[in-house]
Amino acid sequence: MHTTITADPAGKRSRNGSVILADRLCQKRVSKRVKIYDRKCPGLYVSITSAGVATFSFKFTDRTTGKQRTGWLGAYNPETFTVEDARSKVYGLKGMGGAALAETFREQKATNAKRGKTVAEIIEERIDWMKTPVKKPDGEMRPRLEAWENTASHLRRFLGARLGKTLAPEVTKNDIATLSNDIVAGKFGRPSVSNARHMRKAASALFNWAAEAGRDYVSASPCINLPKLDAEHARTRVLSEDEIKIFWHGLDDEDRMGSWDRRTRLALKFELATMLRSSELLSAHRDELFDLDGENPRFEVPLKRVKKRRTIQQPLSDLAVELIKEALRGSNKQYVFASPLADQPLHRKAMADALRGDKRTGKVRTPGICQLLGLKPFTPHDLRRTAATLAGDLGFDDAWIAKCLDHAASNKSEQIVPTVTGKVYNHSKRMKEKRAVLDGVAVELLRIIGRPTAKRLEEEPRRAA
């Protein structure tokens, strides 16, 4: 029985990727995973990920099966496992002879299987579990964790890239802390405390899930007693009255705004007028609108689009109804803020992209609304905060404003309300209070932009406030 060692695997990748490996190559930054084969030691190659992790492997052809096989050698470490260390290991493996070499890797694979699953394996199993459809309270079948894509991204981009080949039981608290620090330091792209926090949360849920009875992939989670991350500073951007006026009238300037779809601009106005989140309003459907020409117009957002997974009944001011009717005018589409391409909602990032502009490789291709109007940059969520601030300045109760924002109000009149009261017993939508707040904000917006106000709107908010 013989094993043939091939210097470079067949194919285009080998022709382009064979050099004399050096430690400095293992430390290079790449935009996507690359494999570099060593011309000096046939069969040895290093795989470098976009996260900066370099691992050595040995590729050979086993004549017993007629197939190429790959054996993992270890991760590059400038102090403990360098290019020369990897070469020495390959030379030692070659000296074992063909049969012994193939058997060594077979035994290594079997041993690892007995010792447990790798982090990469439990990540993929966890992702499959998260995205499995289950029956939700509204009767629909949707993924078990509806935000599974974001969680999967943090697991794969950070935890999997750094510790994917590590056996799950061998991951330590220090591994997670080091990974977290490297994310904050910018070793995975732009420095980000937020990404580090999300990675920790995803990793903690992963290992707790892996430790559950019936899986027992790990005995305990390594994500405990980790050093605290620096506090993230909450955004506080609120548009001034002058900025609101410039923004509102600027959105109607077709000469300057011609690059941005009219319904996208109406959606921005609608967020300012209703305090709804972008994800809640962008998919607004005709069937979710009620009594637009009556006394109590409202927009019902189904729970699957709501952050807290509870149906929102949002009263609509005359200003909000006006925006909806303009968006629907001349359209036979079912979605209020429909995409210009089809009868489907605008993309979830359409509003944010319109505000900041279209960029490719750092260059602005289409200037954003903020730049076109000479405004300090802001996000769609800042419009929601601006509306809430206007309501607060008008003297409305914080508990009423919280209802408009779909926030849970924990106290009212300085009396703490038990959580169970709101969750189980009190299903009132507080429509009267919400309508008063939103009508009040509409009146204030109309004053700011210099438009006359209907007499009904002038009187009712004042009485409620």
Compute the distance between CA of residue 66 and CA of residue 68 in angstroms, rounded to an integer.
7
Considering the entire predicted model, what is its pTM?
0.66
CA angle, 384 then 390 then 394, to 5°: 145
Supply 439's token pair. 């009508």
Compute the distance between CA of residue 73 and CA of residue 90 in angstroms, rounded to an integer.
8
Residue from 334, 292, 337 nearest 316 by CA: 292
pLDDT tens track for 291-331: 999 999 999 999 888 887 888 999 999 999 999 999 999 88
pLDDT tens track for 260-296: 999 999 999 999 999 999 999 999 999 999 999 999 9
Supply 174's token pair. 């220090």
How many other C-beta atoms are found inside a 10 Å radius of the C-beta of residue 296?
11
3-state SS class at 301: strand
CB 410 within 8 A of CB 416: yes
Pairing mode, strands 312-315 and 67-75: unpaired
pLDDT tens track for 440-464: 999 999 999 998 865 555 555 544 4
Quote the pLDDT of residue 136. Answer: 85
> How far, CA to CA in Å, does 168 sit from each of 145, 151, 162?
22, 18, 12
Q: Which domains does the chain have, with CATH numbers?
A: 3-115 (3.30.160.390), 119-210 (no CATH), 241-464 (1.10.443.10)
User: Which residue type occupies 85?
Assistant: D
CB 403 within 8 A of CB 409: yes
Compute the distance between CA of residue 14 and CA of residue 393 in angstroms, rounded to an integer.
67
Compute the distance between CA of residue 223 and CA of residue 216 in angstroms, rounded to an integer.
16
Average pLDDT of the chain, as a whole number: 84
Scored b (16 or more CB within 10 A) or e, 190-206 reads eebeebbbbbbebbbbb
Q: How confident is the model at residue 189 (pLDDT cuts 50, 70, 90)?
A: confident
Supply 412's token pair. 């009212």
